[in-house]
Amino acid sequence: MVGWLKQPEVLLERIKFMLDWKLPQLKALYPSFEFSQTAEEMTEWLLEVSAPWQDAICNVTEPLKALQAQDKGLLFEAQLGAGRDLVFGEYPWTTSSNVTAAYAGIGSGLPALRPERVIAVAKSFSSSVGTGTLITAMAEQDNFREAANEYGAVTGRPRDMGYFDAVATRNGVELQAATEVALTKIDCLSGMTDLKICVAYDGEHCENPIWPQTAALAPIYEQLEAWDEDITGCRTFESLPLAAQKYVLRIEELMGVPVKMVSVGPERDQMINR
């Protein structure tokens, strides 16, 4: 609990409890395991590193309710996509919490929250790090991974690379009740000779995919025209190569909601608004 940082005595007691509970287990599993820090030292360290933002620790629901009363806009951001959601994701490769848009209100203490606008952020291709199924995995991934700089943000592990999966992405769009899509990294597709989108699955349960069993499914692809131009300097949708425009419009058609933003690079001014 972050709130314990405001109560050093309680924090110390919780750390003592955790050490008494966990250290014997760790030593039983790993006989050579050594841990020299005391509960007091850990408490002191936590208080030191948290000092710059101590004033921000609060019951966040109260200031949010005050902003609502003033008709102020609230912006919530989810870290992961629906495929990692504890309930709707591909178990057991999920995260430990619910990450869909509906939980923004629950997690912030505003259970009656009804977002007016939900932006589903999706890459223009598929990528995944760690375990799990990537149905649209490319046969040759190394060059594309390097060009797209697709490595784990924390671990630096290389991500598995795949073609855009419209089935999984639409599932996420619907679970999020998304009102629009922001399509990112389309510039990374420039120069790709084999450009295609997975529009359906083949195999058992293909009409109603059971997400934990997707490893048995095969992708059904739709081939699209590729483009060679460097599009990182484009600032309007109309300035994109016609093939790139068609790629975005086909994804829009498959998602059932408008693609209102298209990024052609990592900078803020490289986001095209439609």
Residue 151 DSSP symbol: B
Are 218 and 135 in contact, with CB atoms under 8 Å apart?
yes
d(CA 155, CA 227): 32
CA–CA gap between residue 266 and residue 59 (Å, rounded): 34
3-state secondary structure of 170: helix
156 annotated as ligand-binding: yes
Is 10 a known ligand-binding residue?
Answer: no
Are 8 and 42 spatial neighbours (Cβ–Cβ below 8 Å)?
Answer: no
95 in a labelled binding site = yes
On whether 246 is known to bind a ligand per the annotation, the reply is: no
What order of strands is seen across the sheet that includes strand 119-123? Answer: 119-123, 180-184, 259-263, 271-273
233 known member of a binding site: no
**Is 265 labelled a binding residue?**
yes
Residue 159's CB is within 10 A of a number of other CB atoms, namely: 19
Q: How far apart are the first and last CA of the chain?
A: 42
Tokens of 269: 């001014």
Give residue 216's identity as a one-letter amino acid code.
A
Nearest to residue 266, comparing CAs of 235, 241, 232, 243? 232
157 assigned to a ligand binding site: yes
The answer to whether 264 is annotated as binding is yes
Residue type, 162: G
Q: Is 187 annotated as a binding residue?
A: yes
Would you list which residues are annotated within the binding site for IMP?
Answer: 95, 157
Would you list which residues are annotated within the binding site?
Answer: 95, 153-159, 185-187, 263-265
Would you list which residues are annotated within the binding site for substrate?
Answer: 153-159
Would you list which residues are annotated within the binding site for GTP?
Answer: 159, 185-187, 263-265
